[in-house]
Structure formats: structure tokens, C-alpha cells
Amino acid sequence: MPASLLEMEIPRRLLVKLMPVLAAMARSEAQGPSEAPPPRISKEMLQQALALAELEFSEEQLVLMLPSVNRNLPSFQALRKKDVPLDTEPAIRFRPIAPAVATQGKRVFRQSRLKTRPQRPDSIESLAFAPVTQLSALVKAKKVSSVELTTMYLARLKRYSGQLNCVITMTEDLAMKQAAQADSEIRRGHYKGPLHGIPYGAKDLFNTKGIRTTWGAEPYRDNVPDYDATAVARLADAGAVLLAKLSMGALAQGGLWFGGMTKNPWNTEQTSSGSSAGSASSTSAGLVGFSIGTETLGSIVSPSTRCGCAGLRPTYGRVSRYGAMGLSWTMDKIGPICRSVEDCALVLNAMYGPDGKDTTVLGVPLAWNPEMPLAKLRIGVLKAEFDRLQGESKDVYDKALASLAKSGANLQNVELPDMGANALRIILSAEASAAFDDLTRTGGVNQLKGQAAGDWPNSFRSARTIPAVEYIRAQRARTLLMQQMDSFMSNWDVLVSPTGSATLLITNLTGHPQVTVPCGFVDRIPAGLLFTGHPYQEGTPLRAALAFEQATDWHTMHPKVDWGETKG
């Protein structure tokens, strides 16, 4: 009898059942050494692995399991050797609502009407902090050229981006070429719309053909893709001008990248937050006309809030993720970071819709009407979240709600039930670990600057212990969360909360859109008011956010830091 089996201390009743097998093994050994290698996974190893799932099996069950467990190893090894490109999606699909519901509605997109005729300013740089709505009116009326705007923003990027550490790669040659083309098209009467000739920046996880796309991470700092991401291509089709690839936290976490920490223009001793760190920082500082970023769990809402920008995280499946770094295939979303609410609507309008490449994107009409009667909206206020605030935060948000009420909004207090969303965070951990499995195995994650307990390298390693069964169970529980959130939202068109709301995690899991706008300052750093809407109905929370924006002047303020700009 093989010594390895004797050492397992098999009970007598099981030993009797295994006697025929043992006899065969003995005959095989007598004939000569077996070609099969000894099992890599022992009973003790199996028991320790099962402890992660809080499972205990009998000795008989463990013995029966061991051959199957060891037989799986070659399959695992074969999968690890298989070349799976980083932009390969898994053969699963997540949608926030049923397709039949999503495709209902009509496309009604109306831009605000100009109150005054656009006039050329005395100084082009005075437009640095202007919203897209103002810039586009000037460009359309040929009062200002795209080349002039592009030249101005490029100069500001060169002058100030180093202090904010918000740029990874300048795209000056491309920008000047696109700007000249835009001016030529406009002169010939081929005006493409409100983004035509408007300079912008893109988070450095969007592929740009022939221009490096680093994901903010050391192992990819020399990566040069051979195609454009859909979002970048569509903005180019709309006539927008790409100025720079903006900094992002390494592999979409926080504000720390291989060049250091991205700074907040309101206080350069602090980070701008992340992971769309450079997008928010550069937009706030007037270095770009607008920017685009991504969010998986707060990466648009958080930096937009801290930098005093308007940020929109659209519905999951609204904008194609093709050509954008994948972190969590069922949670990643692409959206704009701007200086006004309507700017967000204009940028989303240029990017959204199916491209035939990202199969999660539905052809759902985008509705935007800035003149929609506010009184018609059922707006629920998550009162308990505001009540928990203290000190300066409490005062800021009380005033914000008062301003929203004065704008004509019909506010009703509502209580958000505990939906148990925290347990579902393992979905992001498991998917992110799978996305960068090869990087973990090769040791590439060791090159990242962030190596603390909460940074990706440790998360990627730790997530290897999440059982596949628990991940699937979490996705099933996510379906229940979606149903619960849908039921809760059935009585409301919009929810209002502080940006630190529990809805941030919930809606990133369910796919609901959120809009954040500046609403004051806490400890001299911007605070944000958060508006949540129904899936594929971004126009509704945008309309409520616009009402607040029009009732206040927070969006007109820009940072005053050591580069000498003035506030007001």
C-alpha cells in the first residue's frame, strides 16, 4: 500500500471500500514505477482551501475529491499559458434593466437657448474657465477659432500641469491638426455641433492610435495602441480637439501614478482623488475645455467633487468601453467631467450608443431638455444621510438643499433602506484580479508605486482566495439588489444626497446614473451634491442638477493657487 495513503489515516470502513483500488495500485507498482506524477494537492491543502468557504467535508468525501481537484490543475495551467489580450471581455454580460424596458422612449435632445449674442473677449485666456456652452457659441459664430482656443489651452497645460501633475502625455501635434481642420470645416459651413473645435483631455486609459496609453502604471508606460477607443473616435467625429492624455491612479485606483500624485487645484498639498484624477484636476484648473474619465466605484464622482467640477457617471452600458482599460467588466462606465451640468449632457450626447464592439451597449435614446418643468419631477431627499453630517458640512448641505428648494424643486424626505450592498464589493475585487491576473503572476504589480494594504497589488493577490462559487453568488445577489433599488426608485424620478452617500456603491452595482455638482466648500475644498436617476434616463438627474446650478454660483468659482489666477 502506498505510504501516502497510509499517512492519511483512512477510516477502516473507507479502507474496505478502497481495497480494490489499492490492490490495483499495488499491482501497478509491482510492474514498475508509475508515469503519473504524485498529486500536488494533499488532503491537508484541500482542507485549508475549503476553510475559506467555511466548508468541512468527511474523510470519505475528501478522498473522493482529491483526484478531481488534482485533475483540474492541468486545465488551470493550460489557461494560464493561453494568451488572452488585456482588452478581451469575458463571455458574460451585465445589463442594469431588461432590454425591452430600456428601448422605450424617444430621443429628444435640446440645447439651452442663448440669452445674448456671443461676443469675442478682449483676451482668449479669459475663456480658460468658460463652459463648453459658451465656448461652442463663440466657435460656431466664428468669434473665436478652434486654433486660438487650442493654442491657449496648450500654453496653460505647459505652464501649470507640472504643478498639478495632471498630464501624462501631451498631444500637441494632433491637437493643432484637429483644430485647424475644425476651423476649416466651420468656415465651409460644415458645423458638426457643440463640441466642434472644443479642446479636451482624456484619461490615460483610453486607447489613442500611435500615442502612448499608460494606464498610469509602470509596466505599461511605453504601451502604444494601434487603434482609438470608441469614446475618443466619437469625440473626434464630433470635432473635439484632443490636447492631452491625463493622469490617472495606476490601473484606475486613486490619484497616484508612476509620475507621482495628482494634485487638487484648490489645495496642491492634497490629491485630486481618483482614479480620474487628471481629468478632474485639469478641468477645474482651466487647462482643458472638458475631459472624459471612467468610474467603477467612485472614480468620476469623487474627483469631480473634490475639484469642484460637474461630473456625470452615465448608466452602465450607455457608452462603449471598447478601447478603454478594463478593470471590472460588469461595473466600468465612461463619462464626462466638465465645468457645467449642460456640458456633461453635450459630451455624453457625442459618445453614447452602440458601436458593434461593446455588446453591453444598448441603442437607448438619450433625452435632454434643460427647460423641462422642474415641478413635475418627484425628487426624494435622503434625509438621514444629510442629518448625519456635522459642523461645516452640515451647514453647507443645509444651504444646498434650501437653494434647490428655492429653484422650484418639490423635495420630499425619504429613507434609503439597508440593501446589503457592502458584501458585493467582492465582485469588483474578483474581476479586477482576473483582469490583471497575468500582471500578478509575472510580478509586474510589484513595480507599482502603491504597495500599501489598500492598493491594487495587495488586492489582486488577496482576491485569488475568492471562491468562484461565492463570486457567482454575489452576482445573483446583485440581481436582487437591482430589483430592490428599482422598487425603491419607482416612487421617485431623482434622489438627492451628499456625495458620500451609500447610493454610490449601490448604483455602481445596479448601473443607475449619478450626477455631482459643486455646492460649497468644507475646509476650503469643494463639496458636492449628488443626483441619482433611473437607468438610461440621465436627462432627469441632469435637469435637477441644472436647476441647482442655476440657483447658485458655485460652478462659476475656480481655484486660486500659486499660479496667480483670481477667484470669482
User: In three state form, how does the secondary structure of 277-303 look?
Assistant: HHHHHHHHCCCCCCEEEEECCCCCHHH
Query: When comparing pLDDT for 91 and 297, which is higher?
Result: 297
pLDDT for the residue 215: 98
Q: Would you call 514 exposed, middle or buried from its count of C-beta atoms within 10 A (0-12, 13-18, 19+)?
A: buried
35 pLDDT band, cuts 50/70/90, is: low
Q: pLDDT at residue 136 above 60? A: yes
The answer to whether the beta carbons of residues 218 and 230 sit under 8 Å apart is no
Distance between CA 561 and CA 104 in Å, rounded? 48
Could you tell me which residues come within 8 angstroms of residue 401 by beta carbon, excluding any fewer than 6 positions away?
A: 381, 386, 411, 496
Count Cα neighbours of 455 within 13 Å in the Cβ-side half-sphere.
17
pLDDT for the residue 26: 58
- CA-nearest of 557, 421, 407 to 479 is 421
92 pLDDT band, cuts 50/70/90, is: confident
Q: What is the largest CA-CA distance in the chain?
A: 98
> How many other C-beta atoms can be found within 10 angstroms of the C-beta atom of residue 66?
17
pLDDT for the residue 90: 86
pLDDT for the residue 106: 63
Q: Please confirm, yes or no, whether 177 is among the known catalytic residues.
A: no
Reading the block at residue 231, the C-alpha cell is: 469614446
Element (DSSP H or E) covering residue 521 = strand 514-522
Q: pLDDT at residue 319 above 70? A: yes
Q: Please confirm, yes or no, whether 299 is among the known catalytic residues.
A: yes
Q: Please confirm, yes or no, whether 203 is among the known catalytic residues.
A: yes
561 pLDDT band, cuts 50/70/90, is: low
| Average pLDDT, integer, range 52-74 | 87
Residue from 275, 281, 302, 328 carrying the catalytic annotation:
275
pLDDT for the residue 105: 57
Q: Would you tell me the crossing angle of helices 391-406 and 539-551 to the nearest 10 degrees?
A: 100
Distance between CA 66 and CA 38 in Å, rounded? 12
The answer to whether the beta carbons of residues 384 and 352 sit under 8 Å apart is no
Element (DSSP H or E) covering residue 196 = none
The answer to whether the beta carbons of residues 496 and 380 sit under 8 Å apart is yes
| Average pLDDT, integer, range 70-76 | 85
| Average pLDDT, integer, range 310-320 | 97
Residue type, 365: P
pLDDT for the residue 6: 45
Q: pLDDT at residue 395 above 90? A: yes
pLDDT for the residue 414: 97
Q: pLDDT at residue 568 above 50? A: no
Could you tell me which residues come within 8 angstroms of residue 56 by beta carbon, excluding any fewer than 6 positions away?
A: 47, 50
406 pLDDT band, cuts 50/70/90, is: very high
Residue 485 three-state SS:
helix
Residue from 247, 276, 282, 299 carrying the catalytic annotation:
299
Q: Convert the pLDDT of each residue in 178-234 to its tens digit.
A: 999 999 999 999 999 999 999 999 999 999 999 999 999 999 999 999 999 999 999
pLDDT for the residue 7: 45
Residue whose cell numbers read 470519505: 60
pLDDT for the residue 5: 46
532 pLDDT band, cuts 50/70/90, is: very high
- Terminal C-alpha separation, the chain: 86
Residue whose cell numbers read 430589483: 483
pLDDT for the residue 565: 44
pLDDT for the residue 450: 94
pLDDT for the residue 567: 42
Q: pLDDT at residue 102 above 60? A: no
pLDDT for the residue 120: 97
Q: pLDDT at residue 485 above 60? A: yes
| Average pLDDT, integer, range 5-32 | 55
Residue whose cell numbers read 424626505: 413
The answer to whether the beta carbons of residues 372 and 543 sit under 8 Å apart is yes
Q: What angle do CA 458, 463, 465 make, to 5 degrees?
A: 120
Distance between CA 347 and CA 351 in Å, rounded? 7
Q: pLDDT at residue 9 above 90? A: no
Q: Convert the pLDDT of each residue in 14-24 to its tens digit.
A: 555 556 555 55
Residue from 43, 140, 203, 245 carrying the catalytic annotation:
203
> How many other C-beta atoms can be found within 10 angstroms of the C-beta atom of residue 217?
28
Q: pLDDT at residue 47 above 50? A: yes
pLDDT for the residue 104: 56
pLDDT for the residue 17: 57
Distance between CA 303 and CA 305 in Å, rounded? 5
The answer to whether the beta carbons of residues 197 and 149 sit under 8 Å apart is yes
Distance between CA 454 and CA 447 in Å, rounded? 16
Reading the block at residue 300, the C-alpha cell is: 468620476
Q: pLDDT at residue 431 above 80? A: yes
The answer to whether the beta carbons of residues 465 and 492 sit under 8 Å apart is no
Give CA separation, 132 vs 63, 112, 149, 199, in Å.
67, 12, 12, 9
Reading the block at residue 343, the C-alpha cell is: 456640458
| Average pLDDT, integer, range 45-64 | 88
Distance between CA 462 and CA 74 in Å, rounded? 23
Q: The dihedral of CA 163, 168, 170, 175: what is its sign?
A: negative
Which of 68-82, 124-138, 247-261 is predicted least confidently? 68-82
Q: pLDDT at residue 238 above 70? A: yes
pLDDT for the residue 2: 47
Distance between CA 510 and CA 269 in Å, rounded? 35
| Average pLDDT, integer, range 543-563 | 91
53 pLDDT band, cuts 50/70/90, is: confident
Q: The dihedral of CA 163, 165, 167, 170: what is its sign?
A: positive
Could you tell me which residues come within 8 angstroms of residue 433 by beta carbon, excluding any fewer than 6 positions away?
A: 440, 459, 460, 463, 464, 466
Q: For the chain, which domains are there?
A: 3-81 (no CATH), 99-112+146-354+374-420+456-556 (3.90.1300.10)
pLDDT for the residue 77: 86
Q: Would you tell me the crossing angle of helices 468-489 and 503-510 to the nearest 10 degrees?
A: 110
pLDDT for the residue 331: 97
pLDDT for the residue 235: 98
pLDDT for the residue 566: 35
The answer to whether the beta carbons of residues 521 and 397 sit under 8 Å apart is no
The answer to whether the beta carbons of residues 252 and 215 sit under 8 Å apart is yes
